[in-house]
Chain A
Amino acid sequence: MSSSLSLFIFLLLAAGSAAAILLVSRRVGRRPLTAGKDVPYECGMLPLEKPDPRFFVRFYKVALLFVVFDVEIVFLYLWAVVVRDLGWFGIVEMFVFIAVLLAALLYVWRKGDLEWE
């Protein structure tokens, strides 16, 4: 029970200090803010363009494909830990798994989503 008590005190401290910081900065800070406060860097170069440029969709596409296949490959690590004990069954299973992934990759290729231009 002592651990949940300490957790509770921790939470109270965290919430309290967050609230205190917000309150103090609101009290002490001067309002309204000047226009210069909205600039990313208050001194130095002025920004040349907006900070959220639009990227080409194909960046997203490649990134998404990478994420999906990358996460699937994680299962290879789990498999590698026990492959000795699984014997032939494990090997066959993993090839089936990879074949399914390959089918997905083949589909992506066929749809032309791996072409950059």
Chain B
Amino acid sequence: MSLMAVVFTGILLFAVGAAGFVLRGNALVLLLCIEIMLNAVNLVLAGFSRYLYGTEGQVFIFVIMAAGAAAAAVGLAVVAALRRRLGTADMNRINALKG
């Protein structure tokens, strides 16, 4: 395993999350895609800190995880409220706003 392998895997994982974000419609799936992207970033950070710079980058991972968990909590609450209100969480079918 080399630094390049780890970083490329992380960036590919990020691309998977981003592609899912663009292609899928369900709000919960989009939330999952965001989480995939955050974890991909964590992988990249871990790679850089393991191979180049020491432990600092690994502390960043915890910060990102904490912020990600807070965001997921808020996001799930918002999505649950939307689904209760409109009966669906499919963003392609929710379009009262446009123009």
Contact A75 B77, beta carbon cutoff 8 Å: no
Chain B 58-91, CB-CB to A under 8 Å as 1, else 0, gives 0100100110011011001100100010000000
Residues of B within 8 A of A74 (CB): 62, 65-66
Interface size class on chain A is: 10 to 19
Known contacts A71-B65, A75-B66, A7 near B73 by CB under 8 Å = no
Q: Does chain A have a CB within 8 A of B19?
A: no
Q: How far is the CA of A72 from the CA of B66 in the complex (A)?
A: 6
Interface of B is mostly: helix
Q: Does chain A have a CB within 8 A of B95?
A: no
What are the nearest 4 A-B pairs in CB distance?
A71-B69, A3-B2, A64-B73, A4-B4
A64's nearest neighbour on chain B, judged by CB, is B73
Q: How far is the CA of A32 from the CA of B39 in the complex (A)?
A: 39
Interface size class on chain B is: 10 to 19
Q: How far is the CA of A71 from the CA of B8 in the complex (A)?
A: 27
A4's nearest neighbour on chain B, judged by CB, is B4
Q: Does chain B have a CB within 8 A of A95?
A: no
Please pick, from A4, A7, A64, A70, the residue contacting B77 in the complex, using a CB distance under 8 A: A64
Contact A60 B70, beta carbon cutoff 8 Å: no
Q: Does chain B have a CB within 8 A of A28?
A: no
Known contacts A57-B80, A67-B72, A7 near B62 by CB under 8 Å = no
Q: How far is the CA of A64 from the CA of B80 in the complex (A)?
A: 12
Residues of A within 8 A of B29 (CB): none
Q: Does chain B have a CB within 8 A of A48?
A: no
Please pick, from A7, A57, A68, A75, the residue contacting B70 in the complex, using a CB distance under 8 A: A68
